[in-house]
Structure 1
């Protein structure tokens, strides 16, 4: 029986998808009577994914074949010849059994003494940039780090530390200042969290003039939006360069601008998706969907059909990520970029363990942890010469306690993912759900909500202006009511 690991497509969150993996069996060590079935001389050497030769039988020595063809036992010598042949056959079989036994013991000994870690990829050019990035992020304050610094570090590692952080951050700072200036020109409250989020929403979803230039609304990049062919599609730097992105790059850039404008906004997750939340009118949480420029309701996400009650209970979806959890997702992004460029090794495991420490219930790092466990197990099986796609061949894993423990760990990680409430959402279902957000009903609801927030902000602004005018009038009246003292000339007394 085969068990399919939960698939989390590499969509906006850049999570690797899994193939088939064997159902994790209860492995028992084969009995001695079965040793003859494992007489492959290649035991203990890498098979490169090939199935070991089963039913191996050494060929009979050519000298014996020659003699057996030439001797024709007959008459009084027939019984004596058969007896000699039987003795010779028993001697050959005994020798073959001893060879098989020796090969088997050597295979077990080599297998138990070999490394059970993933082979290191540190020799590949570019890996050092990732090691440096990991160390840099690890040295940042868990609560007061700059998201722009973290994101740049992750993306810069992919480009082998050849990007300019000064230019990257200067662009963010310039845009934030222009948006605040735009609010002042419109006489909007630059201290209002809601007003600043509405301005950010407008910047992403509508054309506007900033600094004397026309800024075009950002577009959703439908071409290779999973970053399978071009992984840079996941990056904020690509969004800034082309004006198009997806649900990974857009929310991150939004949060960087919000951070620079000193306003509160949060990253939230849905199946294969991330979006923005902020505290709106009267303390209510509002959702912002940047891929289509809408304010969707919570029901819009629940209607996807892939958010189970367990997922809500474990808070893996539709929750505001804390600063620590957001940093955990940055570690996840760092690991995924490394895997895309180089593959899996124990460095990826180190990065994901850091992500899980900050975000234990994060579905993305938990899925990647399963990927690592699977890659490590497959590597071990291949080096043992065991075919992972052959259930009978897998039984030989019982000779190696460390391999059995790795099966157990992978099984436990499967269970963790399942217990968190994860449900696989195929790419086609995700695309249908995303397109479904643009229904006329949802558009009308979004526009109505946007108008209510706009009017509410105008009313609050009017009230603040009236209060400020009243305060100034009262202050002026106090000044007028103060007794006036005139200096006295002593010569006139």
Structure 2
């Protein structure tokens, strides 16, 4: 199923579009705008200067042909500028740069471009995306920083009480998981309740901020976009390794246990899950797995690619489509050509550009008879063919859109007796492995190690504020 704006117009056009006749060649610019040679062959009336030696070669001799070449080059340059301006005006998306708040997005994009894709802070990246949507609001910035540090401190305190070694990646991941799935207590008092899934407008259709980590931290409710991102951010803060994984309409977390087995963490229900749970959704095709669209541990580069998609998505929801969106999505696809979310947004952007261009020449793209007229506009036809190529790629990639009702039903299936039992078995095995590891560590003679520095407090880089 395609979530494509103009899918119907392609079907119409495909059946009615005939062979395009060869268009006549346009005259060359130099033939149209060359300066007549007679104007360049006039004798010079400037008197000779007595101070200049007549035999001096100081001045290079300029021939009429040199003058003509320079004039033609300048004409070509100016005509190229005119053509470019005309193309932007007639065939590109109308700029939204005059809208209040767009400059916050431009600045966020510029800051993201400074990131090293292999080494950056996911906490900073998420901040840039959500701060842009909040238009650099100081209250938002302060709350974001405080909430991240508060959550990090809670997890570190739990690690200290459980005597978790800083080198134990499994135990650190379990500490983060418990922060999501269980109430956090201190001296018998609950200081943080388990995070709940927010079923109301979980796709952010009415309120796009529902997608944000900052909303999750404020309300203690989130969904499959914000929860895994917060998990990654907290893992970054305490030095744990975990991976973001995507599937149709969904994302979740993976990490390796002590035996090297990969574990999937389903934060929406506070459970561990097997790969079979994701595959049983019925919306993951063999082609999608072959093309690495889904169920892959995303690298830092690929997570950054998704961050650019989030930036573009927020801009679209707040302002609409313009060429800034295309630029952001272009960067996302540069970092990860397999990013299906970036591909889908790009397809919609291409279609919006085509619709605007059609409207400028009084063509209704939804009218199959009028659509034939694009054969008279080669640049418009090229845009249409690019959209078609995008459709073909999406079809061949294995992408499938999961309906909202099916998605909710699939998420609910995690709570079945069978899946609950599987989750409990995984959790029990982890507890046994962890206890065994602690016993083995206790038997070893512990070397004297230097006192560790206190964990650094998270602070938003000043250049982002």
Provide TM-score, normalisation by structure 1: 0.74
1:23 paired with 2:10, answer yes
Q: Take 2:89 and 2:149, find their aligned partners in 1: how far apart are those partners?
A: 53
Matches within 5 A, 1:52-63: none
Q: Take 1:19 and 1:394, find their aligned partners in 2: how far apart are those partners?
A: 12
What's the counterpart of residue 419 of structure 1? 396
Of 349, 367, 376, 1:372 maps to: 349
What's the counterpart of residue 2 of structure 2? 6
Q: CA RMSD in A?
A: 2.0
What's the counterpart of residue 317 of structure 1? 294
- Report SS of the residue matched to 1:247: coil
1:298 paired with 2:285, answer no
- Report SS of the residue matched to 1:286: strand
Per-residue deviation at 1:134?
0.4
- Report SS of the residue matched to 2:117: coil
CA gap 1:127/1:184 in 2 versus in 1, 3 angstroms:
same
Of 99, 107, 110, 1:124 maps to: 99
Matches within 5 A, 1:121-200: 121-163=96-138, 164-165=140-141, 167-200=143-176
Of 326, 339, 348, 2:316 maps to: 339
Q: Take 2:219 and 2:186, find their aligned partners in 1: how far apart are those partners?
A: 17
Q: Take 1:112 and 1:443, find their aligned partners in 2: how far apart are those partners?
A: 58
What's the counterpart of residue 240 of structure 2? 263
Structure 1, unpaired ranges of 5+: 8-16, 32-110, 473-493
Q: Take 1:113 and 1:209, find their aligned partners in 2: how far apart are those partners?
A: 59
What's the counterpart of residue 440 of structure 2? 463
What's the counterpart of residue 430 of structure 2? 453
2:246–2:294 Cα contact (<8 Å) kept = yes
What's the counterpart of residue 66 of structure 2? none
Q: Take 1:210 and 1:386, find their aligned partners in 2: how far apart are those partners?
A: 67
CA gap 1:447/1:19 in 2 versus in 1, 3 angstroms:
farther
Matches within 5 A, 1:338-487: 338-468=315-445
1:239–1:249 Cα contact (<8 Å) kept = yes
1:308 paired with 2:304, answer no
1:268–1:276 Cα contact (<8 Å) kept = yes
1:29–1:398 Cα contact (<8 Å) kept = no
What's the counterpart of residue 200 of structure 2? 223
Per-residue deviation at 1:28?
4.3
Structure 2, unpaired ranges of 5+: 22-85, 449-465
Per-residue deviation at 1:448?
1.1
CA radius of gyration, larger in: 1
CA gap 1:21/1:242 in 2 versus in 1, 3 angstroms:
same
- Report SS of the residue matched to 1:295: strand
Q: Take 1:112 and 1:182, find their aligned partners in 2: how far apart are those partners?
A: 60
1:277–1:286 Cα contact (<8 Å) kept = yes
Per-residue deviation at 1:167?
4.4
What's the counterpart of residue 209 of structure 1? 185
Provide TM-score, normalisation by structure 2: 0.78
1:182–1:210 Cα contact (<8 Å) kept = no
What's the counterpart of residue 61 of structure 2? none
Per-residue deviation at 1:210?
5.0
Higher relative contact order (CA 8 A, sep 6+): 1
Q: Take 1:194 and 1:204, find their aligned partners in 2: how far apart are those partners?
A: 16
2:249–2:401 Cα contact (<8 Å) kept = no
- Report SS of the residue matched to 1:150: helix
